[in-house]
C-alpha cells in the first residue's frame, strides 16, 4: 500500500527555533518604505538546490499561522516544481492550465489545512516554460490576488540557469534572493544580483539558508536557522546607528573575531 504524502503543515509549529527568524524577516519587509505595501514577493536563488522553496514554504506558514495574514503561494518554477510536494497537493490544474488553457484561477487555487494559506501549484509539465510566462497575464493575476490576499509569495526558478525569473520579476513588488551558506560562491551570488539589476526589479534583501552549519554558532541553523541580509539603504542606516552608539573603549578584535568578519 502506497504511503500517503505528508503535508508540511502537519509538523510545522510556531515553537520551532527558526520561526523567530522568519518572523523577523516579515517584520523587516513590513518596515521597508514603499509607496504601497509590499504584497507580492518573488523568491528565487542564484543556482539550484539553495532552498528557495523551503524558504517560501516556511515564510508562508509563519505569515499565515503566526501573523494571521491571508497568504497565497504561487509555484512559478515550472521546470522543477516543488511546492505541491511540501503541502501534499496535486501538481496539475495549476498555473500552466491558467495561462495556457484559460482555466478559471478560482478553480486552480488549492486550500491547505491552514485556513489563511492557499496554494496555486505549477500545473502540468510543459516543454517550453519560458513561452508559458506571459508577463502581462501574470501581472493581471497578481493584481487580482492583491484584493484577496495580504501576502503573495511567488517561488520561481533560479536566476542563472534560465531566464524565467527575469520575465516576471518586474511585475512583483519585491524580490528576495536565497543563497546557501557554504555552497553559494560569492561571485555566483554577485552575478545573480547583477542580472536582477538589469531589469526593473526591487531586490530588498538576501536570505541566507544555513542548513549546512557553515557559519559561526550564532548563525547556525540549530541556533536560529536563517539570517536576513538587508538591502543597501538598510545597511547604511544600521552602520550609522552603530557609529552613534560606539563603545567608550574598544579592544583590538581577536583572531576569531577577524575570521568571522572576513568569512
Domain assignment present for 251 = yes
CA distance 97 to 241: 50
Question: Three cell numbers at 138?
Answer: 501574470
Domain assignment present for 231 = yes
State pLDDT tens for residues 135-153.
Answer: 899 999 999 999 999 999 9
Domain assignment present for 2 = no
CA distance 201 to 77: 18
Domain assignment present for 155 = yes
Domain that holds residue 178: 8-262
Spatial neighbors of 144 by CB under 8 A, at least 6 apart, are 105
State pLDDT tens for residues 164-181.
Answer: 888 899 999 999 999 988
Question: What pTM did the predictor assign?
Answer: 0.79
Domain assignment present for 3 = no
Domain assignment present for 168 = yes
CA distance 20 to 257: 25
CA distance 172 to 175: 7
Residue 205's SS3 state is strand
φ/ψ of residue 84, rounded to 5: -60, -30
Asked if the model's pLDDT at residue 235 lies above 70, the reply is no
Domain assignment present for 31 = yes
Query: For the domain that residue 212 is a member of, what is the CATH number?
Result: 3.40.50.300
Count of domains observed in the chain: 1
Question: Three cell numbers at 24?
Answer: 523577523
Amino acid at each position: 500500500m502506497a504511503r500517503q504524502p505528508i503535508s508540511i503543515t502537519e509538523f510545522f509549529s510556531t515553537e520551532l527555533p527558526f520561526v523567530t527568524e522568519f518572523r523577523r524577516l516579515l517584520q523587516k519587509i513590513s518596515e521597508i518604505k514603499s509607496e504601497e505595501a509590499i504584497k507580492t514577493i518573488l523568491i528565487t536563488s542564484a543556482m539550484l538546490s539553495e532552498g528557495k522553496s523551503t524558504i517560501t514554504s516556511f515564510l508562508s506558514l509563519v505569515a499565515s499561522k503566526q501573523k494571521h495574514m491571508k497568504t497565497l503561494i504561487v509555484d512559478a518554477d515550472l521546470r522543477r516544481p516543488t511546492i505541491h510536494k511540501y503541502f501534499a497537493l496535486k501538481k496539475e490544474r495549476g498555473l500552466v492550465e491558467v495561462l495556457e488553457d484559460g482555466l478559471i484561477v478560482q478553480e486552480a487555487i488549492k486550500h491547505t489545512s491552514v485556513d489563511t494559506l492557499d496554494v496555486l501549484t505549477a500545473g502540468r509539465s510543459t516543454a517550453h516554460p519560458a513561452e508559458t510566462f506571459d508577463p502581462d497575464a501574470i501581472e493581471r493575476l497578481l493584481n487580482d490576488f492583491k484584493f484577496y490576499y495580504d501576502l503573495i509569495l511567488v517561488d520561481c526558478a533560479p536566476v542563472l540557469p534560465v531566464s524565467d525569473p527575469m520575465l516576471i520579476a518586474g511585475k512583483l513588488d519585491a524580490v528576495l534572493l536565497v543563497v546557501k551558506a557554504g555552497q553559494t560562491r560569492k561571485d555566483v551570488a554577485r552575478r545573480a544580483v547583477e542580472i536582477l539589476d538589469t531589469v526593473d526589479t526591487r531586490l530588498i534583501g538576501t536570505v541566507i539558508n544555513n542548513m549546512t552549519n557553515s557559519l559561526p554558532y550564532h548563525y547556525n541553523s540549530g541556533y536560529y536557522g536563517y539570517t536576513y541580509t538587508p538591502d543597501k539603504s538598510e545597511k547604511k542606516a544600521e552602520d550609522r546607528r552603530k557609529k552613534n552608539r560606539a563603545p567608550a573603549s574598544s579592544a583590538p578584535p581577536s583572531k576569531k573575531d577577524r575570521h568571522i568578519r572576513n568569512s
